[in-house]
Structure 1
Amino acid sequence: MQGIDKREHRRMEEVFNKYKNSYSNSVIKLEEDNIKICQNMEELNVLYSSFMILLNELQRCARNYEQKKIVTRSILHKNLRKLNAEACRNR
């Protein structure tokens, strides 16, 4: 699974903040592009937040799965040993 690089996202935010500062001080106004950039950055932040929420949920599910697997395997092996011991006694 391809993830989202946290450092890369932070760099994008830093570049965006530099752009906003430069744009507000500039005499050149690129309204259409500025609006598009701001909207895209907003969407990137929302997507990044959603990704982090889903990633945390996935990690929690993976931990729960591993714990459940260990418990289930332990019970299975214990019962298999009992069944094998009983089978040996009945021979």
Structure 2
Amino acid sequence: MDPPTIPELARLCSTNDFRLKRAFKKRFGTTIHNYVKRLRLEAANRLLRDGDLSVGKVAASVGYRHKGHFSRLFYQHYGIYPSAVAAKNPSFDEN
């Protein structure tokens, strides 16, 4: 199941897209998109540090279809590539 879209969330909150986005940014200090991206990257970081999943499987498990795109976003956020984080995990296996 895909997560709800912004228009779907707006309907659930009995408002429109613009008002939802504006209220969210006022409350959380960031856009909905950036907030969700940060949550996904934090979840990926935990999986890479704690688990034994490959980078591709971690990317897919947090909702990224392309490992390369995920790796670029992860690097932009953390300043380190996900493969380097995973390599520090003694139970990591690239396969």
TM-score by length of 2: 0.31
Give TM-score scaled by structure 1 length. 0.32
Structure of larger gyration radius: 1
Structure showing greater relative contact order (alpha-carbon pairs closer than 8 Å, 6 or more residues apart)? 1
More helix by share: 1
